[in-house]
A and B are shown apart, each in its own frame.
Chain A
Amino acid sequence: MIELEGLTKRYGDKLAVDNLTFTVRPGTVTGFLGPNGAGKSTTMRMILGLDHPTAGSVRIDGRRYQELKDPLTYIGALLDAKAVHGGRSAYNHLLCLAQSNGIPARRVDEVLDIVGLTPVARKKAKNFSLGMSQRLGIAAALLGDPRILMFDEPVNGLDPEGIQWIRSLMKSLAAQGRTVFVSSHLMSEMALTADHLVVIGQGRLLADMSMADFIAQNSQCRVRIRTPERERMLDVLHTAGITAVEKDGGLLEVEGSRAERIGELAAEHRIVLHELSSQQSSLEEAFMQLTAGSVEYHAHTGQAQQTGGTGPAVVPAQPVAADTKKES
C-alpha cells in the first residue's frame, strides 16, 4: 500500500505536484493518468524518496521510504529503462542491486528468466534495444519479490508483443495480491489494464475512482435521430417528457442512452425514422475533457481551444448503464 498525504513539490514558483492525497491499494492495478508534464514522474520519484517533497509525506506500508530495511523487498520500481550503466552487463547490473539489499544471487537468474533476458545476461546493457532495457528495468523491479510495484510509462516505445507482455504481467502481479501502480498518458492503455484510476493534471488530483465508475461518469451517451417528420417527432418526445435538441442538418439529439424507448415511441406514432443511433464519447475524449484545463502544452488548434475553457470542472454525471462498453 502506498499512501500519499498532501504531497507537494515546488520548483521555484512552479507547483509541479500540488497537495496530492490518495492511496494505492493492494490487489489491483492502479493507473496513474495525466498529460505529459502533469507531475506523474515527480510524484513517483518522491514515493521512492529520490526527490524531497516541499510538503506532505508518503508512506510505504505505513513507513517512510528511508525507514525501510532493504527497500527493494518492499517496493520495486521501473522509472527510466535507460538508467543503467551501459558498460555493465545485465547480470552484473542486477547483481549489484541484489547485493545491496541482501537478495541472494540466484534470484538474479530467476528474474532474468522471468523477463526473458537469460540469453543476453552477460551482454553489455548499452547494446540493448529499448524493449530489452524495459525488460531489464522490470527485472530490477521484481528482484526483491516486493509486495508493491511501480512502473513509469512501461509500454512507451515497445512493440505490440512487448506491450501485451507488460499488460499481462501487471495483471498477474495484481492477481497475486500485490499493489501495482502504473503511470501513463494514454487513457486507452489504462482502460485495458487498470482497475482503479488516479488522474492528475498540473499536479492536482482530478479523479480517484474505480475504472468502472470513471467509465460510467465520463462517457456521455447521446441518441441521434434523423427523420423527415421532425416536428411530429419533437412533439411526441416532448409529450413523453424527453428533451431533444435540434442540430444542424435536421438532426435531433437526446442526452442519455434511450434509443430503445425512442424507437418504440416512433413506431407507436408511425413516424418514419432514417436514423436512430447511440453515440458515445470515447474515454480518450472524456480524459481530454477532464484534463483540458490543466494541459501544460496546448496545441492551438480549433479542438484544443474549444475545450480549453471548460477546465477540470466536474463532468456532469449522466445516468448511464453501468455495463456501457467503450464503443457503441
Chain B
Amino acid sequence: MTTQIIRSEWTKIRSVASTVWTLSLALVVTVALGMLVSALTRHGFENMREQDRLSFDPTYISFAGMGLGQLAMIVFGVLVVTNEYSTGMIRTSLAAVPQRGVFLASKVAVATALALVVGMVTSFLAFFLGQALLGSLGTSLGEEGVLRAVIGGGLYMALIAMFSMGIAAMLRSPMLSLGILMPFFFLISGILGAVPATKKFGQFLPDQAGSRIMQVVIPAGDDTPYGPWGGLGIMALWVIAALAGGYLLLRKRDA
C-alpha cells in the first residue's frame, strides 16, 4: 500500500512547476555564489591576515553559496506541503489516503529523496567548481575530512528541506511558513550564533549545528562542543521534532 502512495506522491511532485524552479534555483544559487566567492578569495588571498590564512578552509569557501541557496530549498520544502492546503487538495488527498501518518511520511520521503539528489549534485558541483577557481589554494576529495564535508553538504540541504516540511505541516499556510523560516535562517540564526551573549544557544540551532559538517579546518580557539557528525545529529533532532509536530497536528486536526 505504501508503494502506491509513494508513486502517487511522486506524480504529485513531478507534475507541478514549483518543484523544478525551487530545486534548480537552489542548485544555481549555491554553485554560482560559491564560485564567485572562491574566485574573489583567490585574488584577495595575498592581502589576508596571517590568522585567517592559517584557518583557511578551501572546502568551506566553495560552500559559501549554501546560506542563500538553502532558502530555495526551504521554499521547496514549504511548497511541497502547503500546496495541499492552499488549494484545498488536502481533502481529496486524505479521502484517498485516510492513514494520515502514511500520507505525510510518503510525501516527506519522496520530497526528501528528491532534495537529497539535488543537494548532492549541488554540493559536489559547488566543491569541484569552487576548487577549480581557487586554483593552487584548492584542496581535493582525497584530503582528510573533505569527502565527508562534501557529502555532508548534500545531507545538509536535504535536512533543511525536511525541517521546512515539518514546520509547514504544522503551520499549513505557505506565507506564514516562509515568513518564519526565511528570516530565521537568513538572518536571525546567524545573528544569534555570532553575538557572544547568545552564541551558546545559537550554536544549537539547526543550521548552525548542521553546517559544521561542511567545515574541514577548525579555526583556532573554536570551542564548539560537538563535532561534524554531532552537529548533523543535532540538526536531525530538530528535523524529527518538526516532523513529529507536523504529524501530531495533522492527525488531530480536521482537514
Could you tell me which A residues sit within 8 Å of B by CB distance? 45, 48-52, 65-66, 68-69, 71-72, 77, 79-80, 82-89, 92, 95-102, 140
CB distance from B59 to the nearest CB of A (A): 38
Contacts of B197 in A (CB 8 A): none
Q: Is the CB of B11 within 8 A of A96?
A: yes
User: Among the interface residues B9, B12, B18, B99, which one has the most CB atoms of the partner chain A within 10 A?
Assistant: B12
User: B118 to nearest A CB, angstroms?
Assistant: 19
> 1/0 contact trace for B89-105 toward A, CB 8 Å?
10111111111000000
Report how many residues on chain B are interfacial, defined by Cβ distance under 8 Å.
28
- For this complex, 7 residue pairs linking A to B, each with C-beta atoms less than 8 Å apart, are A48-B91, A48-B94, A84-B89, A95-B11, A100-B96, A100-B97, A101-B96
Contact with A along B222-238 (1 / 0, CB 8 A): 00000000000000000
Please pick, from B5, B7, B94, the residue contacting A50 in the complex, using a CB distance under 8 A.
B94
- Given known contacts A50-B91, A69-B1, A88 and B97 CB-to-CB distance under 8 angstroms: no
Chain A residues contacting B97 (CB-CB under 8 Å) are: 100
Contact at B91–A79, with CB atoms within 8 Å?
yes
Q: Are A97 and B98 in contact (CB under 8 A)?
A: no
Contact (Cβ within 8 A) B16 A66: no
Is B88 interfacial (CB-CB < 8 Å)?
yes
Say how far A147's CB is from chain B's closest CB, in angstroms.
Answer: 16
- CA separation between A323 and B213, bound complex, in Å? 82
Contact of A71 among B11, B84, B89, B95 (CB under 8 A): B95
**Inter-chain contacts of B96 with A (CB < 8 A):** 71-72, 97, 100-101
Q: Which residues of A contact B98 (CB under 8 A)?
A: 49, 65-66, 68, 71
Task: Give complex CA distance A83, B16 in Å.
Answer: 15
| A133, B82: Cα distance in complex, Å | 21
Contact residue among A51, A96, A101 (Cβ-Cβ distance under 8 Å from B12): A96
When C-beta atoms are compared, the residue in chain B nearest to A82 turns out to be B88
CB distance from A44 to the nearest CB of B (A): 10
Task: Choose one: B1, B4, B83, B94; the contact of A85 (CB below 8 Å).
Answer: B83
Interface flag for B191 (CB, 8 Å): no
Closest 4 CB pairs of A and B: A83-B88, A100-B8, A92-B15, A51-B254
| Residues in chain B within 8 A of chain A (CB atoms) | 1, 4-5, 7-9, 11-12, 15-18, 83-84, 87-89, 91-99, 254-255
On chain A, the residues within 8 Å of B88 by CB distance are 80, 82-84
In the bound complex, residues from chain A placing their C-beta under 8 Å from that of B1 are 69, 102
A79 to chain B, nearest CB (A): 6
Residue of A nearest to B96 (CB): A100
Q: What residue in chain B is nearest A83 (Cβ atoms)?
A: B88
Question: Which of chain A's residues have a CB closer than 8 A to the CB of B5?
Answer: 99-100
Is there an interface contact between A50 and B255, defined as CB atoms closer than 8 Å?
Answer: yes
B9, B18, B91, B254: the one contacting A83 at CB < 8 Å is: B91
Contact indicator A101/B91 (Cβ below 8 Å): no
- In the assembled complex, the Cα of A237 lies from the Cα of B99 at a distance in Å of 69
Contact of A140 with B92 in the complex, beta carbons under 8 Å? yes
Instruction: State A327–B240 Cα separation when bound (angstroms).
Output: 66
Interface residue from A45, A65, A80 paired with B254 (Cβ < 8 Å): A45
Complex CA–CA separation, A51 to B92 (angstroms): 13
Residues of chain B within 8 A of A80, CB atoms compared: 88, 91
B9 closest partner in A (C-beta): A96
Looking at B15, B91, B96, B97, which has the most chain A CB atoms within 10 Å of its CB?
A: B96
State which of B11, B84, B95 has its C-beta within 8 Å of the C-beta of A49: B95
A83–B89 touching, CB < 8 Å = yes
Residue pair B4, A101 in contact (C-beta under 8 Å): yes
Looking across the interface, which residue of chain A has its beta carbon closest to that of B14? A92
List residues of chain A with CB within 8 A of the CB of B255: 45, 50-51
Minimum CB distance partner of B89 in chain A:
A85
The minimal Cβ–Cβ distance linking B92 to chain A, given in whole angstroms, is 6
C-alpha spacing A45/B253, complex, angstroms: 13
